[in-house]
Amino acid sequence: MVKINQVLLSAGVHGNEKTGIYLVKKFKNNQKLISRNSFATKTLLINNKAIELNTRYYEVDLNRCFDLETINSDYKENKLHEQLLAQKIYQQVKEAKIDFVLDFHTSTSNMGLTLMLSNDRPFNLRLAAYLVAINPLVKIVRSNNLQYNNRFRHIFPLGFTVEMGAIAPNVIDPIWFEQVEILVEQILDYIEQSNHNKQPLSPEIVPIYSMSEAIYFPTDSQGDIAGIVSTQLHGNDYFALHPNEIIFNKFDGKKVIYDGTTTVYPIFINEAAYWENKIAMYLTTKEEKIITSVLK
Amino acid sequence: MVKINQVLLSAGVHGNEKTGIYLVKKFKNNQKLISRNSFATKTLLINNKAIELNTRYYEVDLNRCFDLETINSDYKENKLHEQLLAQKIYQQVKEAKIDFVLDFHTSTSNMGLTLMLSNDRPFNLRLAAYLVAINPLVKIVRSNNLQYNNRFRHIFPLGFTVEMGAIAPNVIDPIWFEQVEILVEQILDYIEQSNHNKQPLSPEIVPIYSMSEAIYFPTDSQGDIAGIVSTQLHGNDYFALHPNEIIFNKFDGKKVIYDGTTTVYPIFINEAAYWENKIAMYLTTKEEKIITSVLK
């Protein structure tokens, strides 16, 4: 049976995602909201330089720097602000012996309250399934692809990245702020009950969306974006996209069709932060995951 | 009777407001969409350096640089990128003898299709009133306060800034993209008919929202933001705010009340670009403006 002693509530891995940042600031100044008997809850703002600048990052995206090579303190190539910060934060987290993380992010896509699993351990899956059952805004995403395993959440034994939205950068959205406060309460209460050997029951099956591939905007001969996401897709994250349906409408009047052979579920549709890489969305496959009922 | 010979469709005064930028690019490559018999239509992307960087501006907000002092070519103090650009663009516009501008912007606030008047000339007001009558998304705003008269639109005899939203920066929103294309067609057709002495009729009365003052976020002793816009206000731009209604919920649990004595109509609520100045919204007063029926 898992015993959780240290929980971390973090934000500001991206400095312009203010809704999560001010939620963590609120928790820091109102400790009774996050206190439970059986474990300690810490708060942390990660990239203070980017927070001050109101930008996603200063030199490079911090949430792509938590790969094993970069965070290894023997690795001497790290020179950029965020690479050095990733090493420092990794050491802090190890020393603090954090068991479980909730790392708050916002997305300009209609992601609701998306929980991105740090890994597939049974505790994570049971908690995720429980939250899907009690909170209609919650969706569960995992990234099986190793190239995505460089996020802050990956340095913790348990926990999630929380992606809430649609929220524009540098906006505190009061409606999502309230919803994520409710989510945090649900999660902390679950951990508390679990630590007291009263883990709430989870459904036996939960839908999990696995990220498969990035879809890039169509471009012209100069490399500039040559079309936009179809009106049917925009704002409809987690809806089914079937073979031969339209993905992009090009400015020259032509259409780009989804040429896959299976139904997929696009997420992060028109995420502004992915603009610089010309990523228009990620495709996911939906799996009805069976949750083990054995507590471990 | 006004005769309009040159129309300008511009975007990229702010480099990260991509929906307008790609609309103008589409028009540039599909001239037949914007061609009319009685006038010429030009397209222009303004701050190409900021567009390339995907940022609002490079050194200073360009849309605060079109005051008479800065754009006067004898003024030698201009050293920042956007101040020099404002001088250059002003000269271009004068030489091209542009009569009418549509300058496209996006807002993270729920602004619909807001037309911000370059001035109160009768042609502007009649066209605005006509658009309110035929297009349910259109709202009309003017800034009587001289401190706001430094926007790009102010260097033209006629026209509007178009603020569409809610749209996050660096997102092409396909739904608003379509809506603003419809708006452009309605405006160009109106100008065409007007040039042929067949100006469509306008309603005699139109609601116009006049910007009165900025409302700042509450701050703590360190100057950090100490509360968020109430859930009743967020997303409800142009809705009435009455005396004694809540504006902010502070993180310490206290509330901030609107202490004015008259009903006002907040706009640009939680506009991300105003975060750096800690502006949470602008208040407007609503006037039922009588439109002159005399053509001049």
Residue pLDDT, tens place only, B192-230 = 999 999 999 999 999 999 999 999 999 999 999 999 999
Question: What global pTM score does this model have?
Answer: 0.95
Rounded CA separation A202/A130 (Å): 5
CB contact set of B238 (below 8 Å; sequence gap of 6+): B112, B139, B209, B265, B266, B267
In tens, the pLDDT along B128-146 reads 999 999 999 999 999 877 6
Q: Residue A3 half-sphere exposure, CB side, CA atoms within 13 Å? A: 5
| DSSP 8-class letter at A196 | T
For tokens 């109101």, what's the residue?
Answer: A54
Burial class for A31, CB neighbours closer than 10 Å (0-12, 13-18, 19+): exposed
- The pLDDT score that the predictor gives to residue A286 is 96
Q: In sequence order, what E strands does B31-178 have?
A: 40-45, 100-106, 112-117, 138-142, 158-165
Q: Cα-atom radius of gyration of chain B, to the nearest Å?
A: 19
Residues B10 and B152 sit within 8 Å (Cβ to Cβ):
yes
Distance from CA of B169 to the nearest CA of A (A): 7
The DSSP 8-state label assigned to residue A220 in this structure reads -
3-state secondary structure of B191: helix
User: Distance between CA A218 and CA A226 in Å, rounded?
Assistant: 5
Calpha distance A284→A129 (Å, rounded) = 18
Rounded CA gap, A216 and A225, in Å? Answer: 9
Q: Where are the beta strands (DSSP E) in A66-204?
A: 100-106, 112-117, 138-142, 158-165
- Largest CA-CA distance found in chain A, in angstroms, rounded: 62
pLDDT of residue B164: 98
Residues 6+ apart with CB under 8 A from B140: B114, B115, B117, B128, B129, B132, B206, B207, B208, B209
**Other residues' Cβ atoms within 10 Å of the Cβ of residue A224:** 12
List, as one string, the DSSP characters of A34-69.
T--SSSEEEEEE--HHHHHHTSS-SSS-GGG--SHH
Cα–Cα distance between A67 and A138 in angstroms, integer? 27
Of residues A59 and B68, more confidence is placed in A59
Structure tokens at B224: 């950090």
Predicted confidence at residue A257, as pLDDT, reads 97
Identify which of A285, A242, A280, A247 has the alpha carbon closest to the alpha carbon of residue A261: A242
pLDDT band at A148 (very low <50, low <70, confident <90, very high): confident
| pLDDT (0 to 100) of residue B74 | 74
Question: Is omega for the bond preceding B280 within 30 degrees of 0, making it cis?
Answer: no
Residue of B57, B106, B170 to mutate for A, most A C-beta atoms under 10 A = B170
Contacts of A124 (CB under 8 A, 6+ apart): A117, A118, A158, A159, A160
Q: In whole angstroms, how far apart are CA B113 and each of A31, B31, B279, B294?
A: 43, 23, 21, 27
Angle at A163 between CA A157 and CA A167, to 5 degrees: 160
A235 contact residues in B (CB cutoff 8 A): 175
**Contact residues on chain B for A175, CB-CB shorter than 8 A:** 231, 234-235
Q: Kindly list the residues from chain A whose CB atom is less than 8 angstroms away from the CB atom of residue B18.
A: 275
Q: Give the pLDDT score at B146.
A: 65
Mean per-residue pLDDT, B279-283: 97
pLDDT of residue A296: 42
CB–CB of A177 and B228 under 8 A? yes
Q: Decide if pLDDT at A294 tops 90.
A: no
Choosing among A251, A252, A281, which should be mutated to test the B contact, i.e. which has the most B CBs within 10 A? Answer: A251
The Cα–Cα gap between B208 and B120 comes to 11
**What's residue A146's pLDDT?**
65
- Would you say residue A156 has pLDDT above 50? yes
Chain B residue with Cα closest to A270: B171
Q: What is the percentage of chain B residues whose pLDDT exceeds 70?
A: 98
Tens digit of pLDDT for each residue in B39-57? 999 999 999 999 999 999 9
On chain A, the residues whose CB falls within 8 A of the CB of B249 are 174
What mean pLDDT is predicted for residues B171-198?
98
Residue A73 has pLDDT above 60, yes or no: yes
Say whether B174 and A234 touch across the interface (CB within 8 A).
yes
Summarised one tens digit per residue, pLDDT across range A192-201 is 999 999 999 9
Shortest CB distance from A168 goes to which of B30, B168, B252? Answer: B168
Residues of A in contact with B275 (CB under 8 A): 18, 54, 170-171
Nearest residue, CB atoms, A174 vs list B169, B228, B272: B228
pLDDT at B14: 98
Tell me how far apart the alpha carbons of residues B282 and B215 are, in angstroms, rounded to a whole number. Answer: 6
Q: How confident is the model at residue B296 (pLDDT cuts 50, 70, 90)?
A: very low
In Å, how far is B140's CA from the nearest CA of chain A?
Answer: 24
Q: How far is A153 from A10, CA to CA, in rounded Å? A: 10
Average pLDDT, chain A: 94
Distance CA B138, CA B129 (A): 9
pLDDT score for B27: 97
CA distance B112 to B176: 9
DSSP summary character for residue B163: E
Contact indicator for B23, B180 with CB cutoff of 8 Å? yes
Neighbours of B254 (CB within 10 A): 11
| Interface touch A234/B178, C-beta < 8 Å | no
Q: Which residues contact A74 (CB under 8 A, 6 or more apart)?
A: none
Token reading at A103: 């790392």
